[in-house]
Structure 1
Amino acid sequence: MKYFLSMSFVLLCLTLAGCTSSPSTNSNSNELSGQLTLTGSSTVAPLAAEIAKRFERQHSKVRIDVQTGGSGKGIADVRRGVADIGMASRRLASDETDLTAHQIAADGVGLIVHQSNSIAELSPDQIIAIYTDKSNNWQDVGGDDKKITVVHKAEGRATLEVFLKHFGIDNPSVKSDVIVGENEHAIKTVAGTEGAIGYVSIGTAEADIESGVPIRLLPLDGVEAKTVNVASGAFPMSRPLNLVTADPSSQLAMEFIQFCQSADVHDLVKSQYFVPITKGSDIAK
């Protein structure tokens, strides 16, 4: 009888020990799950979408929805709580201190013309004159006798804000012929109009030029509009590509952002013709 009680006591202890240890040995106890919604910059969106696919493959219970609409929309959606993360291809403004920017790459904004355009380069004064309708024929700036078609970005687009700030132009002063939204819309317009000029993400333009789209990037201040010059800091019209959050942010959102900033996605950043950033090397957010 004593032997039976002793064995029963041992079995009970083993059972209790097994129950106590089971949660710590469960490999799925810390598995990420849930949904994220990203909205905003059409420049950042293709990169974010590719990173999201890789993140989802590593975390089968996570789903990430990436939507465009411009940097302004991304920031507004985060503030309203309808997006977990905003995408902004610019620095945060002085009235956006309630948000936090997390840089994932760098990009430059370059001026594009049709491939057939004979102009080699434009000075800042000539660019300002074109966009404020003081010069409306390419002959006025050393080119062929052809009307200039000014392609401009819509309000809320980060490329618009970067362009205006760099050249010190007030948006109401711009006299545009065509208003576009996304970079590809601007590229398509310039590619289809021999006298057109526009400004877009250098990375996007480089990718399209490589695929045969008939556009050309113009140098700025004597520096070629190339990704390598953005990476070195030589190109004057550069910008950070940010993911934007409001406090407090979910664990899932922060895990995704950390992944976007890691060396694990540098190949994806380069494939989109952007410049990878490393910790401590990012430009002002």
Structure 2
Amino acid sequence: MNLTYLELRCPISGALLRFVTHLMLTLALVCGTAHLAGAQTNRAGEFVAVGATTIQPIIAHALETFMPGTQLEPRLEGGGSSAAVPAVRSGRADIGMISRSLLPNESEELASVTIGYDALAIIVNSMNPLDSLSVEEVRNIYTGRRRSWSGMPSWATEIVVVSKQIGRGTLDVFEEYSGLVSPFHSDISGEGRELIFAEAWEAGGNLDSILWVGGVPAAIGYVSLGEADRFIELGHPIKKVMLDGVAAELPRVADRGYPIRRELNLVYRRDNIQAVAFAQYMLGKEGQDSVRELGFAPRSFGELSE
């Protein structure tokens, strides 16, 4: 499968570019393409999954064992959680990937399964001496009230705030946790909530945020915990900070000690035989192994202690 899902929305530094070649080659085996091919309904011979880039590596891994014998070619596309339901509804995709709880209309319209759980990790560059933040400190940074790292303690340099684009499940979860909302929602009147700093960089997929924070020493962002752990293991210069003294680790997600947890959901049409079969496969041992091996919490939290 091709890998084409960097969704950059601001200039990047030379330091970022030096990471790209190595990381793209590493990710090529585990990430699908996010090249959106338009409203394509003639998908003969393909099995298509569209949506949250957080879930893409899990599905790519699972498809390696699910697809042999089906005579279908897998194709993965990004676009964020908001792209999942329209793609499945129109028949352009077999599976939609949504990295948040389903909205009532989504669960009524389509069949769905929760394949596992993730958390949001707040990440900073590994050069940053910061180890922990409170929810109030996160709010102060993301509203722009706190503009410098000095006195937190950290060092006297201006904070580079990295947020997410509208339609991303990661943004939805961050908004719920922080009580803030993006200023770019089409209608935010009457919300009664503070706005995320309008000058924040807007990332698309997790990869964007991870590259930016890893390449800009003063940056802060929020990404999938599973993806953060995977890139830290690859040696990318980012680190996770504790929230209210609780480490961003799977066992603390499992016991609900960590404050930002989210569902990983698949949606599909009930009359799509291959999609139904794949959804059931993801609930079985091999599918759950893919969830676990990619660094996410399996559907059954009891498996974490095995």
Same fold (TM over 0.5): yes
2:273 is the counterpart of 1:251: yes
* Matched-pair contact (CA < 8 Å) for 1:71–1:157: yes
Q: Amino acid of the residue matched to residue 85 of structure 2?
A: I
Structure 1 residues 1-285: aligned runs within 5 Å:
35-57=46-68, 59-96=69-106, 97-172=108-183, 173-175=195-197, 176-246=199-269, 248-278=270-300
Structure 2 CA distance for partners of 1:76 and 1:140, relative to 1, 3 Å: farther
Partners of 1:276 and 1:152 in 2: how far apart? 27
Per-residue deviation, 1:140: 4.8
Say which SS state the counterpart of residue 236 (structure 1) adopts. coil
Is contact 1:113–1:196 with CA below 8 Å preserved after alignment?
yes
* Counterparts of 2:164 and 2:136, CA distance in 1: 20
Q: Aligned equivalents of 2:271 and 2:101: distance in 1?
A: 20
Give the structure-2-normalised TM-score: 0.76
Is the 8 Å Cα contact of residues 41 and 70 (structure 1) preserved in structure 2?
Answer: yes
Q: CA deviation at 1:34?
A: 5.7
The structural deviation recorded for 1:280 is 11
Contact 1:205 1:217 in 2 (8 A): yes
State the distance in 2 between where 1:189 and 1:203 align.
17
State which drifts further: 94-103 or 78-87: 94-103
Q: Using the TM superposition, name which of 37-46 and 75-84 deviates more.
A: 75-84
**Do the aligned partners of 2:50 and 2:84 also contact (CA within 8 Å) in 1?**
yes
Local SS of the residue matching 1:145 = coil
Q: What SS does the corresponding residue of 1:171 show, helix, strand or coil?
A: coil
2:62 and 2:286 in contact (8 A); partners too: no
**Distance (Å, rounded) in 1 between the aligned partners of 2:178 and 2:300:** 29
Q: Is the 8 A contact 1:34 1:61 kept in 2?
A: yes
Q: CA deviation at 1:64?
A: 2.7
Q: How much does 1:101 deviate? A: 2.5
Structure 2 residue runs of 5 or longer lacking an equivalent are 1-43, 184-194
Aligned residues: 247
Bigger radius of gyration: 1
Distance in 2 between residues matched to 1:89 and 1:262, nearest whole Å = 20
Structure 1: gaps (5+ residues): 1-32
**Which whole-Å deviations, capped at 9, do the CAs of 1:259-279 have from their partners, x for residues lacking one?**
011112333222210111149
CA distance in 1, matches of 2:155, 2:142: 18
